[in-house]
Structure 1
Amino acid sequence: MTLRLAGLFADAKTLWQRERTLVLPVAGLFFLLPSLGMLLLMVQGAPDLESLSDQAVLLAFYQKFVEANVVPIALAYLAVDYGILALFSLYLRGQGQTLGQVMKAALRRLFPFLLLEVAVSIGFQLGFSLFIAPGLFVFARTWLAAPAYAARPEAGLIEAFKQGWVRSSGVTGLLFLLVAAMVFAGGIGAMAVASIVTGLIATAAGGGAVPEFLGYLLLSVIGAGVWTALAILRVAAYRATEPRQGM
């Protein structure tokens, strides 16, 4: 069982090209629209630019935002998780099926998938509370549990956890680095690019509601692209760690 970054990204590119006509509607509905909705909701009552550097102000705003918007936030996360499961199902069980068939199958398996994602998130948070490295290690070792469930839902959640742990055993270091890069470099880089382009749009248009909305739309497109890329990378990693059958 081997996993190399070059092969992983090449396989992910092939997967994207093969199913992009079906992937784009899923990403648009379940990644882009929830991200845009959350951004538009968040900017209402957001602190002014001068207060953005004050961590206490930002923390207070975030806590107030979460408390006031529990239901929309939960629905947004639900939509994203459903989109991820739909992409997993498309690539790992959807050969020859229409997008509607894939979506229906994903809907039937959504609740167990959510339990799996919550369990992985709890493990990550516990590890992260101890120190950054343990959290990333747990996340790397369970990163393939979700695609394992999507590939074989009939095997159950425990088997999905087992498969995720076993498949990552020989490539933990590589997955650790990949996850760390996605969590830190990917997130920071995406926000930096979005901020620069948003500023350019606002400057070129001279300010106003339209360039502001275009900036939020751009951030949402970037977010949807990140979610889509991560889902396809997980599928590629799952495929790459498929146990080889002996002669």
Structure 2
Amino acid sequence: MTPRFDAIFADAGALWRAERSLLLPLAGMFFLLPMLGIILLIAASAPPLDLPADQAAAALSAFYQRFGQTHIVPLALANAAIDYGIFIMLNLYLQGTGQTLGRVMVHALRALFPFLVLELLVGLGLSIGVSLFVVPGLFVFARTWLAAPALAANPQAGLIGALRQGWTGSRGLVGFLLLAVTAIVFVVGIGAMVIGSVIVGLVGGLFGGGLVAETLSFLLIATIGAGIWTALTLLRLAAYRAVLARQGM
């Protein structure tokens, strides 16, 4: 029996309501702060915005091409923090029964390296697939997206076992997962730049520009990003729980 999409969204909402007192500080520490750091790093090293239109386009293109190479260490640390936050949330629901948040965080930290390797492999598969044919890359990412909660639920299975369970378990959820990963790639990726520009313009118009408007803009963008990552993590978990229910586990 294929799980219904509305049931997955409803379960994600129930998961949020059950643990929001813990999820809010977790999202603030592991999603909002790293994203705010990345935003500030971009703002500090971006080219001037008052260049002529023909020069600005070339300058921005060159900036984004070299940004990842120039700031590889802080970007890697920020992404590792975000991945750790995701893994803590997964462990909170899948391994945290009867445990304090501190014990859950320690347990997640001990098993973090395999999780980081898993996320790196899944991300590489997506990047390679998207760079070649786009849709196959999204399909492979969708079929492996549930490997992360599978690893959190059963770390003894290892990377291969988690990837296998994620692939087989997602068989009835391909449509839902394709929508989810498309949101990750396009909304969180490309859409973030558009949303960020709109927010900066709106806040600048309300507060007349300056440091206060810029700070509020960056904080609002990071807060929205943290909310998106939290929602996607809960949907990922709810989809995995739907797979377990379908399999009678």
Q: TM-score, normalised by structure 2?
A: 0.91
Preserved contact between residue 198 and residue 218 of structure 1 (Cα < 8 Å): no
Q: 2:215 is matched with which residue?
A: 213
Q: Does residue 41 of structure 2 align to residue 41 of structure 1?
A: yes
Q: 2:248 is matched with which residue?
A: 245
Q: Does residue 152 of structure 2 align to residue 144 of structure 1?
A: no
Query: Matched residue of 1:171: which SS?
Result: helix
**1:136-159: CA deviation from partner (whole Å, max 9, x where unpaired):** 000100010011000111121111
- Tell me, in whole angstroms, the C-alpha distance in 1 between the residues paired with 2:73 and 2:196: 27
**1:166-194: CA deviation from partner (whole Å, max 9, x where unpaired):** 11112213322332244324655555444
Query: Matched residue of 1:95: which SS?
Result: coil
Preserved contact between residue 33 and residue 220 of structure 1 (Cα < 8 Å): yes
Once the two structures are superposed, the pairs formed by residues 166-177 of structure 1 within 5 Å of their partners are 166-177=168-179
Q: How many matched pairs?
A: 246
- Tell me, in whole angstroms, the C-alpha distance in 2 between the residues paired with 1:138 and 1:55: 33
- Tell me, in whole angstroms, the C-alpha distance in 1 between the residues paired with 2:30 and 2:44: 22
**1:205-231: CA deviation from partner (whole Å, max 9, x where unpaired):** 111101101100011001111111111
Query: 1:66, CA displacement in angstroms?
Result: 2.3
Preserved contact between residue 194 and residue 222 of structure 1 (Cα < 8 Å): no
C-alpha RMSD of matched pairs (Å): 2.0
Q: Does residue 203 of structure 2 align to residue 201 of structure 1?
A: yes
- What runs of 5+ residues in structure 1 fail to find an aligned partner? none
Query: Matched residue of 1:148: which SS?
Result: helix
Deviates more, 1:187-196 or 1:139-148: 187-196
Query: Matched residue of 2:172: which SS?
Result: coil
State the AA in 2 paired with 1:44. Answer: A
- Tell me, in whole angstroms, the C-alpha distance in 2 between the residues paired with 1:245 and 1:41: 47
Q: 1:20 is matched with which residue?
A: 20
Q: 1:230 is matched with which residue?
A: 232
Once the two structures are superposed, the pairs formed by residues 1-247 of structure 1 within 5 Å of their partners are 1-49=1-49, 55-185=57-187, 187=189, 191-242=193-244, 243-245=246-248
Deviates more, 1:237-246 or 1:143-152: 237-246
Q: TM-score, normalised by structure 1?
A: 0.92
Preserved contact between residue 3 and residue 173 of structure 2 (Cα < 8 Å): yes
* Large movers: runs of 4+ above 6 Å: none
- Tell me, in whole angstroms, the C-alpha distance in 2 between the residues paired with 1:208 and 1:151: 48
- Tell me, in whole angstroms, the C-alpha distance in 2 between the residues paired with 1:154 and 1:30: 25
- Tell me, in whole angstroms, the C-alpha distance in 2 between the residues paired with 1:16 and 1:116: 25
**1:34-66: CA deviation from partner (whole Å, max 9, x where unpaired):** 111111111113123355885542231123322
Query: 1:109, CA displacement in angstroms?
Result: 0.4
Preserved contact between residue 146 and residue 236 of structure 2 (Cα < 8 Å): yes
Preserved contact between residue 199 and residue 221 of structure 2 (Cα < 8 Å): no
Query: Matched residue of 2:46: which SS?
Result: coil
| Larger helix proportion of the pair | 2
State the AA in 2 paired with 1:38. Answer: I
Compared CA separation, residues 196 and 86, structure 1 to 2 (3 A): same
- Tell me, in whole angstroms, the C-alpha distance in 1 between the residues paired with 2:27 and 2:35: 11
- Tell me, in whole angstroms, the C-alpha distance in 1 between the residues paired with 2:193 and 2:86: 22
**1:67-86: CA deviation from partner (whole Å, max 9, x where unpaired):** 32121111101101100100
Q: What's the % identity of the aligned pairs?
A: 56
Query: 1:127, CA displacement in angstroms?
Result: 1.3
Query: 1:195, CA displacement in angstroms?
Result: 3.4
Query: 1:235, CA displacement in angstroms?
Result: 0.2
